[in-house]
Amino acid sequence: MSEDLKKEINRRRTFAIISHPDAGKTTLTEKFLLFGGAINTAGSVKGKANSKYAVSDWMDIEKERGISVTSSVLQFEYDDFCINILDTPGHQDFSEDTYRTLMAADSAVMVIDASKGVEAQTIKLFKVCVMRHIPIFTFINKMDRDARDSFELMSDIEEVLGIDTCPINWPIGSGKEFKGIYDRKAKTVRTFTAVSTGGAKKAEEKDYDIDSDEIKEIVGEEGLEKLAEEIELLDEAGNEFDIEKVRQGELSPVFFGSALNTFGVEIFLKYFLEMATTPLARRAGDELIDPVESPFSAFVFKIQANMNKAHRDRIAFLRVCSGKFDANKDVYHVQSDRKFKLSQPQSIMAEERKVISEAYAGDVIGVFDPGVFSIGDTIAAPGTKFEYEGIPTFAPEHFCRLIHQNSMKRKQFIKGITQIAQEGAIQIFEEYTAGMSEIIVGVVGVLQFDVLKHRLENEYGCEVRLEALPYQFIRWIKDPSTDPTKLKRMNNVKAVKDMKGNPLLLFVNDWMIKMVLEDNDGLELMEFRKN
């Protein structure tokens, strides 16, 4: 292993940003990119209806709605680090891809709106981060607006999410009274003056010693007294900083700021880069594959179909887990036991696709799928014997019965839904009683229903009708040999099979889950299914 390879890998940081829509994820991402010099103007990241810079509006349906539902990957250089941000769709209609993206990240940044606290979508995404034990950093945004009490926000995070918090800095006031942040380690106060620079709002930031006369003047006697009390309380009653706990995902370092005004963003980035890990080793059965010591390996975490309608192509997104990817060399696809060169590997930044010749552990690349890849597959240097652990199947929350209108095209219909399900946009289920004549479709975000209908009609020529079903909760039965039709208390509960024949139950509410568990001794249900 060369020193250069080690250096390239160790300077990489790969993280996902999670938040509830509107908390400021896009704005924060954009500010990171501005710092890294990857973009020059604000507004380049977000795909608004009238913007020509949509991150990824490859599908008509997305264009029609003016939203961007697909995740993309942004890479930039900052201070000798090579940073990969995995963007997760911020719209409410997010999909299973959003969850899968988190499987490719080494840490997560959670953006919280200071006036709202922890919101629904953050909770869902947070659960996936917890399952992976990756570090979670919190950025409490919009401090330039009236915010909830900072202690209250800390307990909200701790109670709702069940993670300990450790504020690295602490705000002085909020809204119009927002004076700056106190850096608990440096014991300095960073003040901000908003400066408008055309498109991108940038702040002038200045550090002062906490005991300085300037600070007395800026913050005032009363403000300083309050700050001293709050810091004392934090020091005495708060959690101690422990990098090991951070790395295990048990303690979240917390930062305050305002992404829109670029307040506290650079300091957040600085501490984040200090605390976040280099690309993590990844489990393959009993082995842990070291990112530096092992030759090239990667896994597929997302497949995106028909990015170019004329070609019906599929792009597979690979997270490089170890070594160096060299576009001129053959790779080995473990699942199909085949060797080939990956065609036109590219980095995927917003709409831009750059063909690349190399990538390192920590990076994400898009490659044309020769038609053999499935989500979770391992691609590695020839001679590789291991297989990365699969990506779990996440619980869909919306269900429809899919009715095919034209029985003549049955083969096309089956092909269409099977292919779309393989890409992971939808999950299909078969009822125990009805056979393949009726299919139940489950999705994580309701927009996927429209996408499904649109694609079946446009790509496969199948007219379909969707009938909404009342189920909201799905649970896999842990023991796959269980016959769910024999379970007790099954009124209003639907028993179905997934594509692999695993038994599942669909419930209208979570109270029903408790009832079925109570009445069926020994029954174990799972929210994710580990593949």
The smaller minimum CB distance to ligand G4P, of residues 46 and 529, is found at 46
The smaller minimum CB distance to ligand G4P, of residues 106 and 144, is found at 144
Query: Minimum distance between the CB of residue 21 and ligand G4P, rounded to whole angstroms?
Result: 4
Query: Minimum distance between the CB of residue 201 and ligand G4P, rounded to whole angstroms?
Result: 9
Report residue 172: phi and psi, to 5°. -110, 100
Query: Minimum distance between the CB of residue 158 and ligand G4P, rounded to whole angstroms?
Result: 22
Q: How many Cα atoms are found within 13 Å in the side-chain-facing hemisphere of 155?
A: 6
Query: Minimum distance between the CB of residue 163 and ligand G4P, rounded to whole angstroms?
Result: 20
Q: Compute the residue count for the chain.
A: 531
Query: Minimum distance between the CB of residue 391 and ligand G4P, rounded to whole angstroms?
Result: 24
Chain contacts with ligand G4P (rule: CB under 6 A)? 19, 21-27, 46, 90, 141-142, 144-145, 258-261
Q: Is 372 left (phi over 0), alpha (psi -120 to 50) or beta?
A: alpha
Query: Minimum distance between the CB of residue 25 and ligand G4P, rounded to whole angstroms?
Result: 3
* Paired tokens of 503: 């038994």
Query: Minimum distance between the CB of residue 36 and ligand G4P, rounded to whole angstroms?
Result: 17
For residues 252 and 266, what is the distance between their CA atoms, to the nearest angstrom? 18
The smaller minimum CB distance to ligand G4P, of residues 26 and 98, is found at 26
The smaller minimum CB distance to ligand G4P, of residues 21 and 238, is found at 21
CA angle 192, 111, 264 (to 5 degrees): 15
For residues 448 and 440, what is the distance between their CA atoms, to the nearest angstrom? 14
Query: Minimum distance between the CB of residue 353 and ligand G4P, rounded to whole angstroms?
Result: 22
Neighbours of 99 (CB within 10 A): 24
The smaller minimum CB distance to ligand G4P, of residues 43 and 370, is found at 43
Query: Minimum distance between the CB of residue 145 and ligand G4P, rounded to whole angstroms?
Result: 5
For residues 270 and 277, what is the distance between their CA atoms, to the nearest angstrom? 13
Query: Minimum distance between the CB of residue 524 and ligand G4P, rounded to whole angstroms?
Result: 37
The smaller minimum CB distance to ligand G4P, of residues 20 and 475, is found at 20
The smaller minimum CB distance to ligand G4P, of residues 92 and 412, is found at 92
User: CB–CB of 82/12 below 8 Å?
Assistant: yes
User: CB–CB of 367/376 below 8 Å?
Assistant: no
User: CB–CB of 146/177 below 8 Å?
Assistant: no
The smaller minimum CB distance to ligand G4P, of residues 14 and 26, is found at 26
Positive or negative, the CA dihedral 513, 525, 440, 128 is: positive
- Burial string for 315-326 (b: 16+ CB within 10 Å, else e) reads bbbbbbbbbbbe
User: CB–CB of 168/137 below 8 Å?
Assistant: no
For residues 509 and 290, what is the distance between their CA atoms, to the nearest angstrom? 43
User: What dihedral do alpha carbons 251, 253, 259, 262 form, nearest 10°?
Assistant: -170
Closest CA to 261 of 142, 175, 181: 142
For residues 162 and 177, what is the distance between their CA atoms, to the nearest angstrom? 31
Neighbours of 499 (CB within 10 A): 14
Query: Minimum distance between the CB of residue 312 and ligand G4P, rounded to whole angstroms?
Result: 31
Query: Minimum distance between the CB of residue 504 and ligand G4P, rounded to whole angstroms?
Result: 32
For residues 87 and 45, what is the distance between their CA atoms, to the nearest angstrom? 10
User: CB–CB of 323/295 below 8 Å?
Assistant: yes
Positive or negative, the CA dihedral 324, 326, 332, 336 is: positive
The smaller minimum CB distance to ligand G4P, of residues 143 and 251, is found at 143
The smaller minimum CB distance to ligand G4P, of residues 147 and 513, is found at 147
- SS3 annotation, 57-119: CCCHHHHHHCCCCCCCEEEEEECCEEEEEEECCCCCCCCHHHHHHHHCCCEEEEEEECCCECC
The smaller minimum CB distance to ligand G4P, of residues 23 and 493, is found at 23
The smaller minimum CB distance to ligand G4P, of residues 75 and 261, is found at 261
